[in-house]
Structure 1
Amino acid sequence: MNLTHTNNALTTLLALSFGLLGVSFALGANPNALVATFEFYGFDTSLNNKMIGLLTGSTMIALALATLAAHLKLIKPTPALVLALIVSIVPLLTLLASNRWMAQLGGFPIIGSGQGIIKYFAVIPLYLFLFYKNKLTDKQHVLLNFIPVAMVLLWIGGMKFYEFEAKAIVSLVETSPFMSWLYTVFSVQGASNVIGGFDVLFAVLIGIGILLNNKKLIIVSGLACLSVFLMTQTFLITANGAFSSSTLLGRLGQFVIKDLWYVGNLVVIATLMLFKPAK
């Protein structure tokens, strides 16, 4: 995979994900998540739910279009980067709000809202690599793209060891032809522990592989991490009500589509660590 292929893949992932998210929010899906964000900034009283959805959706659709235009060199990349910063930083700053956290569990983000928000950490490293490659070294790009992958796998993987999360994923796991067998072998909590252990283990191993520049370890752990993010995409097909508007462009769709960004992070790591010729 050369840089051209990587750029094409990243552009497709980013434009597709933000286009779908934009349409979803513009149609009014999952308004509570947006209201919580606007409440943090004190704008909830001046805008109704419909306007909040339209504003957020329009911004994300604009980002998708700006990403494509910048990739095709129709515009400079600055507008795409600025929009990406806005789309990412606005929700991320709400992690400072106490209602985003579960203090009794040591500070894990609340299921749904918090988990979805931490995924925005993956966005800016992708745009820096896509449009500002030469501003940073390869090692810096690898580190910036590794951090969000490790963060989400350790964080969400860690939550799998708690009963409330184990029960929360039952409806997704039991309808998946790839994962439902876990409930035949393990209890609900046991299956969740296996999933969480897998996430945490390979998040650590890919970090070790990068640190030691061990290509075999990077390949094995990278493919394992990739399988996590690709598996979540299958939920859009296998979950109850698959292909309905409430799944693809609803809360589940919004949560799952964001995992495409982590596929992009892993593509960047692979490109720079495995495929780019040494100078």
Structure 2
Amino acid sequence: MQFLHFFAALQGKFIHFLQIAIFIVMAWIGGLKVFQYEADGIVPFVANSPFMSFFYTNEATEYQHYKNPEGATVTKNINWHRENGTYIFSYGLGGVIVCIGILTLLGIWYPKAGFVGGLLTFIMSVVTLSFLITTPEVYVPNLGGDFPTPNFGFPYLSGAGRLVLKDIIMLVSGLIIASDCAQRLLNSKCP
């Protein structure tokens, strides 16, 4: 029983750990958006998204011909991405993601900032989870082969799909942080 009380008493500290964890993820992933390979990697998500595709200048299906293998530098593809607005959009998105992480972290000391950061984490996660509906690359493709297999399409998540699905954790974490910060704000206004 004492063990349960010990853990219950640490709930506030665990929420702070959650805020630190979100900051680390947001700062790292947002910071990577300035690199070519990361910007290239988000193109299928952005190009197919009804919330973001208007940021790109080329048609959604064109990117299929200009995919760079992760870490590769193919000049023809990079030129297409420059013209598409891939890199400029990625820089802006990275900045937004880092700012959300900072707001969430600041919530440890400033509940108003944390409340906003938690809500923005939730909203960002809703948009990210929408990729499960809009982006074909989140499911294993039917590549045919000598032995046809039924293991493609929904519900068989690709590596990209598994990465997107994890945002359910970010979504709930954002709500927990926003709720905790709201409670702290309410408590500070009570006599």
Does TM, normalized by the shorter one, top 0.5? Answer: yes
For residue 134 of structure 1, what is the aligned residue in structure 2? 8
In the TM superposition, what whole-angstrom CA distance separates every residue of 1:161-181 from its partner, at most 9, and x where no partner exists?
101111111111101000111
For residue 126 of structure 2, what is the aligned residue in structure 1? 230
Count of residue pairs the alignment pairs up = 147
Q: RMSD of aligned C-alpha atoms?
A: 2.9
The correspondence of residues 193-232 of structure 1 with structure 2, limited to 5 A, is: 193-213=91-111, 215=112, 217-232=113-128
For residue 182 of structure 2, what is the aligned residue in structure 1? 274
The correspondence of residues 1-279 of structure 1 with structure 2, limited to 5 A, is: 134-138=8-12, 140-184=13-57, 187-213=85-111, 215=112, 217-240=113-136, 245-246=152-153, 248-250=155-157, 251-275=159-183, 278=187
Change (3 A) 1:248 1:236: farther
Contact 2:139 2:161 (C-alpha < 8 Å) held by counterparts: no
Q: In the aligned structure 2, how far is the partner of 1:201 from the partner of 1:210?
A: 15
Report the TM-score, using the length of structure 2 for normalisation. Answer: 0.66
Q: In the aligned structure 1, how far is the partner of 2:86 from the partner of 2:156?
A: 28
Contact 1:142 1:269 (C-alpha < 8 Å) held by counterparts: yes
Contact 1:206 1:221 (C-alpha < 8 Å) held by counterparts: yes
Distance apart, 1:242 and its partner CA: 6.8
The amino acid that maps onto 1:156 is: I
Q: In the aligned structure 2, how far is the partner of 1:183 from the partner of 1:235?
A: 16
Change (3 A) 1:248 1:197: farther
Contact 1:236 1:248 (C-alpha < 8 Å) held by counterparts: no
Change (3 A) 1:161 1:275: same
Structure number with the higher helix fraction is 1
Structure 1: gaps of 5 or more residues: 1-127
In the TM superposition, what whole-angstrom CA distance separates every residue of 1:117-148 from its partner, at most 9, and x where no partner exists?
xxxxxxxxxxx9xx98514142x022111122
Distance apart, 1:248 and its partner CA: 4.2
Report the TM-score, using the length of structure 1 for normalisation. Answer: 0.47
The amino acid that maps onto 1:249 is: Y
Change (3 A) 1:224 1:137: closer
**Counterpart of 2:20 in 1: which secondary structure?**
helix
Flag as ranges the 4+ runs of structure 1 deviating above 3 A: 241-248, 275-279
Q: In the aligned structure 2, how far is the partner of 1:142 from the partner of 1:190?
A: 34
Contact 1:247 1:253 (C-alpha < 8 Å) held by counterparts: no
